[in-house]
Amino acid sequence: MTEQLRMMAVHAHPDDESSKGAATMAKYVSEGVDVLVATCTGGERGSILNPKLQGDPYIEEHIHEVRAKEMAEARDILGVKQEWLGYVDSGLPEGDPLPPLPEGCFALQDVDEAAGTLVKLIREFKPHVITTYDENGGYPHPDHIMTHKISMVAFEAAGDPSRYPEAGEPWQPLKLYYNQGFNRPRTQALHDALLERGMESPYGEWLERWDSMGRERNLTTFVPCGDFFEIRDKALIAHATQIDPDGGWFKVPLDLQREVWPTEEYELAKSLVGTSLPEDDLFAGIRNN
């Protein structure tokens, strides 16, 4: 393929791009791939998860602006482009029974209408590869599930001139992947490696709960990107309201991660090109066409 390769990563909130597939994106950017993050919501209803920033009245009052600034910093660290789809965070409902979702939020939008916003961006950017979440959202946050829904509609519709004719000239992406970085084989391998070295593992409870979480997926694609784990972590730390730099995300030394599990994982959901599984490249079957 002679033209520049392009990849779009569709995410629900600012910070998702840095916790799911960030090292992959940084790797591809270093190789000259044009990478665009599509962020569906502004993260307005996200809790302040960093204990060092909890109770800050400025952050609480200006959370939308704060999270947008964090996103800009993470984007620059990763070297990617980024666009907002403009929807409002639905929040994560908690309680029994669960409270209703807030009026006007992303998860309550009409799927076809919201997909049209993504179709327009796809037709403008013209990605060859799209990454998104599986039908469970990776975890069952209503915005993650909605992100899956609109991504699936948009992937099918973007190349169809009869659909969303107002959204620009048709463009058909060639492959669609689900992010599967939080998978049992990786978690087990890192857990075992930590214990073998006499170190504490942050994954013990995860592994005990795994069977009840329904998260076993078909891992098809393993992208070698260990050299970019440090960039991934810097981008994640840029989302300061969401990430505690002293928290569990960063308990596993980078050298150990590179030795034991130097890849990020994906599930190939749709492909319009021939490829052989397992893959080590999201553009497998595209580069030489």
Residue-level pLDDT at 214: 59
Residue 278 belongs to a domain:
no
- What's the predicted TM-score (pTM) here? 0.95
Residue 242 belongs to a domain:
yes
- Residue 160 among known ligand-binding residues: no
Residue 277 belongs to a domain:
no
Other CB atoms within 10 A of residue 64 CB:
15
Residue 111 belongs to a domain:
yes
Burial of residue 46, with CB atoms counted within 10 A of its CB: 0-12 exposed, 13-18 middle, 19 or more buried: buried
Handedness of CA 167, 171, 174, 179 (dihedral sign): negative
- Residue 232 sits in a domain of what CATH number? 3.40.50.10320
Q: Transcribe 114-143 into DSSP letters.
A: HHHHHHHHHHHH--SEEEE--TT-SS--HH
Residue 60 belongs to a domain:
yes
DSSP 3-state helix, strand, coil percentages of the chain (rounded to 5)?
40, 15, 45
Residue 276 carries which side chain, given as an amino acid letter?
S
Residue 135 belongs to a domain:
yes
Spell out the residues 6+ positions from residue 193 whose beta carbon is closer than 8 angstroms to its own: 256, 259, 260
| 219-233 residue pLDDT tens | 999 999 999 999 999
| Domain enclosing residue 110, as ranges | 6-183+218-271
3-state secondary structure 77-114: HHCCEEEEEEECCCCCCCCCCCCCCCCCCHHHCCHHHH
- Residue 96 among known ligand-binding residues: no
Split into its structural domains, the chain has a count of 1
Residue 211 belongs to a domain:
no
- Residue 144 among known ligand-binding residues: yes
Q: Which residues of the chain have pLDDT under 70?
A: 1-2, 213-215, 289
Residue 159 belongs to a domain:
yes
Is omega for the bond preceding 253 within 30 degrees of 0, making it cis?
Answer: no
Residue-level pLDDT at 216: 75
